[in-house]
Amino acid sequence: LPRWYLGDVNLWAVGIGFIAFVVLSTGRTPLIERVLVLLVAGMAAVFLCTAIITQPSIAGIASGLLTPSIPENAAMLVVGLIGTTVVPYNLFLHASAVKNHAISGMTLKEARQDIALSVVGGGLITLCIVITAAASLHGTGKPITSLSQIAPTLEPLMGAAAAAVLTVGFFAAGLSSAITAPLAAAYAVTEILALNEQRREQVFRWTWLLVLGVGVLFASFSLKPLQLILFAQVANGLLLPVCAAFILWIANDRSMLQRHTNTGLQNLSGVFVIAITLILGARSLSLAAGWL
């Protein structure tokens, strides 16, 4: 990816922010959804192909999935990885999107199929990224701080196309985040506040503008508060069991859902997810306490 600067300003960040601004400014939910679907499909295609090209050990992948382990002092990174994959604010985004679709006739079955596809797709993308990193970077002993350092490790397998392929994947990832983070924040704020329609639209717009503007400001001046970013993702991971427990409670409230409450299997799955995230959260907090 060529450097594109105007003085100290990173114009790539400004460009991504501008595209996100244009998409969000339309206010057209169907258009925003189509753009996000296209970006996610692009990420999935890029990272799935990359994971396959690296020819990872199938036995190693199976072993890691069936008997997962956490390296010493890596619990916070694991929680951060979970936090950036299953972001709690996306729960607000998806709930608001489902509510909008329900008005036009979406059924509960269709909503569940939609969220299942989203979760599986997000998990697949994360899995492919981890596989690619493990297959191409593990054992090099060199810290990776930029995309320009990753591409050469894949050039023996992908040739000169390595940089272009990774650029497409990370560009899609960045743009999708630049759209979803402001959108989710706007939905969360406006759902919490009891506002009339006109006031709601104003608060919604100013919220996503503020979130997008702060993100572009940090990125355009190449400010890289890595510890702050890691802290935010770890915080997401720690908030996840709280949000999941609340959702599980609501999903079993017969006064609200009547015959649509969770089944026993769904409750068991929910408790399992909450337990895993609680254990990881406790380990990460114990590590953090040891650093203080």
Q: Where are the beta strands (DSSP E) in 4-86?
A: 5-6, 9-10
> What type of residue sits at position 23?
V
Three-class SS state of 1? coil
CB atoms within 10 A of CB 39: 20
Per-residue pLDDT at 287 exceeds 70: no
pLDDT tens digits along 257-280: 888 888 999 999 999 988 988 887
Per-residue pLDDT at 229 exceeds 60: yes
In angstroms, the CA 165 to CA 155 distance is: 11
The whole-number pLDDT of residue 193 equals 85
Per-residue pLDDT at 78 exceeds 50: yes
In angstroms, the CA 49 to CA 40 distance is: 14
Backbone φ/ψ region at 190: left (φ over 0), alpha (ψ -120 to 50), beta: alpha
The whole-number pLDDT of residue 224 equals 64
For residues 258 and 108, the answer to whether their CB atoms sit within 8 Å is: no
Cα separation values, 116 from 25, 110, 255, 272, Å = 29, 10, 25, 17
- Half-sphere exposure for 14 (CA within 13 Å, toward CB): 10
Claim: this prediction has a pTM higher than 0.85: no
DSSP character string of 159-191: TTHHHHHHHHHHHHHHHHHHHHHHHHHHHHHHH
The whole-number pLDDT of residue 292 equals 43
In angstroms, the CA 88 to CA 189 distance is: 14
Q: Are strands 9-10 and 5-6 parallel, antiparallel or unpaired?
A: antiparallel
The whole-number pLDDT of residue 206 equals 94
Per-residue pLDDT at 104 exceeds 80: no
Which of 114-123, 143-152, 218-227: highest mean pLDDT?
114-123
Q: What is the mean pLDDT of residues 169-174?
A: 83
Q: What are phi and psi of 81, to 5 degrees?
A: -65, -40
* Residue, of 120 and 6, whose pLDDT is higher: 120
In angstroms, the CA 26 to CA 38 distance is: 17
Q: Work out the mean pLDDT of the chain and round it to a whole number.
A: 81
pLDDT tens digits along 24-62: 999 888 888 889 889 888 888 888 888 888 888 888 888
Q: What residues does each domain of the chain span?
A: 5-71+88-223
What is the 3-state composition of the chain as percent helix, strand, coil, each rounded to the nearest 5? Answer: 80, 0, 20
